[in-house]
A and B are shown apart, each in its own frame.
Chain A
Amino acid sequence: MAKIEVKGLCKSYDRREILRDIDLTVEQGEVLALIGPTGSGKTTFLRLVDLLEEPTEGEVIIDGAKITGLPGRERLKVRRRMAMVFQKPVMFRANVMDNVSYGLKIRGETGIEETVLEAISAVGLEGYETRDANTLSGGEMQRIALARALVLNPELLLLDEPTANLDPKTAASIDALLSRFEGTVIAATHNMLQARRLADRIAVLVEGRLIALGGPEEVLDERGLFGLSEDLHSRSLVPW
């Protein structure tokens, strides 16, 4: 489990500001839901923490050590402590078994078959092992992507809309799976009910700024809507 601290995090592309001065801490084993309208910077935040991109300013700290700006080998070592599931997951040109075992194989691990089969079964896709991963439905791909991340037993799991492509029943089973996960989780989601169900705390991003951070009951009202103030809600131009 990892403790994440984010200090003064900014990201711009050309002159367009995507994230502005984000400060937050995620405690060990905590589940933080990142909510906000489309284009609010949720995905960029996850990519910065996963070291897929460098911030324009600010830093990300894991267990007291700054991880932004690390050289290649050190960066790889840190990245291997985390795993990320993308909003639109892509599958490698291989079967389900090879897709799920990818992360373990590139770490040189052997005797992984049982672990991989367990991960596939955990996302409810037992029997799919030899299926071409690229012939699966969007929802099945999302579950394989989750298995591919969970099989690595990461200290920090980054999820970008983890149940966006799933039917309610499957989404509920994924929620149950995530609630059993013992590591630290940062999950970007549009689904406020899911955020309320899963998260220990909720961070609200609007137009690249962190405008609220607190427990679900502090941030969301009983209808699952953004309950801070009508004024703040109306400032979110895109419906979410």
Chain B
Amino acid sequence: MEEIAAGFISAIELIVTLNPAVVEITMRSLTISLSSILLASLYCIPLAGLIEFHSFRGKRPLINFIQTLYSLPTVTVGLLVFLLLSRSGPLGSLDLLFTPTGMVIGQTLLITPIMIGLTIAAIGAVGTQIRDTARSLGATEFQIILTVIKEAKPAVLAAVLLGFGRALSEVGVAMMIGGNIRGYTRVLTTAIALETSMGNIEFSIALGIILLSISLLINLILNLVQGR
């Protein structure tokens, strides 16, 4: 118990004094996860709109499949992306394995189902009355889609923030695609795993507190957005 308390105090010191290693790992984690969420938002939101606004055969099974992938294990995505990016894989020539770019690709794939699924639910919840109102006031089909997405903005933002949270807190992809290389691909979660195994408890606790604080911040923003 004393060891944990001492570790906790040392961890606070590391954070307060802005320990360079802690800051560097935190910034890398944020950069990689933010890049993933931006990249995923670019195609997931339009794709969700496309699925929700069109009727086609197999739409319901497709949405069920997307929802099933919410719980996709991060190591499974890690393995898939590893096979794609490894030297003998189809994208091996791009030399992206054990790079931050490779990690961004992996995390983007990981959060794709949750982003698409939650955005579909968000747009679907807006209701047909808004579509009818926009349509009867003379909106084009594109203007109707924009209006509905605008109406669903708080729920779409919630999907984006949840995706960011999942990307930031995952270990499997970061470890398997990044390789946990010090000063290059080491992020909060992989650093916690490594430092704990090496017995550097205070460093792990410091990183854990930061990870938890970021999650808390995401939650606060989420509540603020949904409260509007």
Contact with A along B173-217 (1 / 0, CB 8 A): 000000000000000000000000000000000000000000000
Q: Which of A169-221 contact B (CB under 8 A)?
A: none
Majority secondary structure of chain B interface residues (helix, strand, loop or mixed): helix
A93 at the interface (CB under 8 A from B): yes
Of the listed stretches A7-15, A26-34, A101-109, chain B binds A101-109
Closest to A77 in B: B138
Please tell me the number of chain B residues within 8 Å of chain A, measured between CB atoms.
18
Of the listed stretches A56-64, A84-92, A115-123, chain B binds A84-92
B139 at the interface (CB under 8 A from A): yes
Knowing A52-B135, A79-B135 touch, does A90 contact B130 (C-beta < 8 A)?
yes
Knowing A88-B129, A93-B153 touch, does A50 contact B138 (C-beta < 8 A)?
no
Q: What CA separation (Å) do A128 and B134 show in the bound complex?
A: 21
Q: Which of A50-99 contact B (CB under 8 A)?
A: 50, 52, 72, 76, 79-80, 82-84, 86, 88-90, 92-93
| CB <8 Å contact, A90 and B127 | yes
Q: Which of B135-163 contact A (CB under 8 A)?
A: 135-141, 143, 147, 150-151, 153
| CB <8 Å contact, B140 and A89 | no
Q: What CA separation (Å) do A83 and B135 show in the bound complex?
A: 10
Q: What CA separation (Å) do A52 and B133 show in the bound complex?
A: 10
| CB <8 Å contact, A90 and B133 | yes
B132 at the interface (CB under 8 A from A): yes
Contact with A along B106-136 (1 / 0, CB 8 A): 0000000000000000000001011011111
Q: What CA separation (Å) do A107 and B140 show in the bound complex?
A: 9
| CB <8 Å contact, B129 and A90 | yes
A4 at the interface (CB under 8 A from B): no
Q: What CA separation (Å) do A116 and B193 show in the bound complex?
A: 61
Q: Shortest CB–CB separation between residue A116 and chain B, in angstroms?
A: 13
| CB <8 Å contact, A102 and B137 | yes
| CB <8 Å contact, A92 and B136 | no
Q: Shortest CB–CB separation between residue B29 and chain A, in angstroms?
A: 34
| CB <8 Å contact, A84 and B136 | yes
Closest to B153 in A: A93
Closest to B143 in A: A106
| CB <8 Å contact, A93 and B136 | no
| CB <8 Å contact, B138 and A103 | yes
11 further contact pairs, Cβ within 8 A, besides A92-B130, A93-B151, A152-B138: A52-B132, A79-B135, A80-B138, A83-B138, A92-B134, A92-B147, A103-B137, A106-B139, A106-B140, A107-B138, A149-B137
* Residues of A near any B CB (own CB < 8 A): 50, 52, 72, 76, 79-80, 82-84, 86, 88-90, 92-93, 102-103, 106-107, 148-149, 152, 158
Closest 4 CB pairs of A and B: A103-B137, A80-B138, A84-B136, A90-B129
